[in-house]
Amino acid sequence: MEKIIYSEEESFLPQPSFTTYEQIKQKREKETKEVTGNHELLNKAHDVWVAETVLLAIEKVKSERGKAPAHFAFFVMGSGGRLEQSTFSDQDHGIVFQGEDKRCQEYFLKLGEEIREGLAEVGYPRCDGNVMASNPRWCHGVIEWKEQLDAWIQANEWETLRYLITFSDARTIAGKESLLSEVKEHLLERVKQESELRKRIGENTSVLHKGIGIFGQVLTEEKGPYTGFFNVKEAALFPYVHAARMLALKEGIEEPSTLRRLALLKEKYPFLQEKEKSFSQLLELRASFSEKHHHYDDVHYIPVRSLPKGQKQQLKLWIKEGKEMLTEAKSNMEAGER
Summarised one tens digit per residue, pLDDT across range 226-250 is: 899 899 999 999 999 999 999 999 9
| CA distances to 91, 295, 334 from 124, in Å | 6, 11, 36
pLDDT band at 5, cuts 50/70/90? very low
Closest CA to 275 of 234, 309, 312, 242: 242
Summarised one tens digit per residue, pLDDT across range 51-102 is: 999 999 999 999 999 999 999 999 999 999 999 999 989 999 999 999 999 9
- H or E stretch covering 176: none
Query: Could you tell me if 171 and 207 lie in one domain?
Result: no
Closest CA to 50 of 70, 10, 79: 79
Domain ends where: 193, 220, 242?
193
**Structural domain tally of the chain?**
2
- Is residue 86 situated within a structural domain? yes
- Is residue 9 situated within a structural domain? no
Parent domain of 302: 202-334
Query: Could you tell me if 38 and 182 lie in one domain?
Result: yes
Query: Could you tell me if 314 and 242 lie in one domain?
Result: yes
Q: Are 2 and 48 in contact (CB under 8 A)?
A: yes
- Is residue 14 situated within a structural domain? no
pTM score, whole prediction: 0.94
Local structure of 69: helix, strand or coil:
coil
- Is residue 2 situated within a structural domain? no
Helices (H), the chain: 21-35, 39-65, 78-81, 101-122, 142-155, 158-167, 177-193, 195-204, 232, 238-251, 258-265, 275-287, 309-334
What is the CA angle 294-300-306, rounded to 5?
80
- Is residue 249 situated within a structural domain? yes
- Is residue 317 situated within a structural domain? yes
Query: Could you tell me if 29 and 166 lie in one domain?
Result: yes
pLDDT at 292 (0 to 100): 77
Query: Could you tell me if 168 and 208 lie in one domain?
Result: no
Domain ends where: 163, 193, 223?
193
Partners of 140 in the beta sheet? 96
pLDDT at 93 (0 to 100): 98
Average pLDDT over the chain, rounded to an integer? 91
Query: Could you tell me if 93 and 223 lie in one domain?
Result: no
Q: Are 111 and 101 in contact (CB under 8 A)?
A: no
Domain ends where: 193, 210, 239?
193
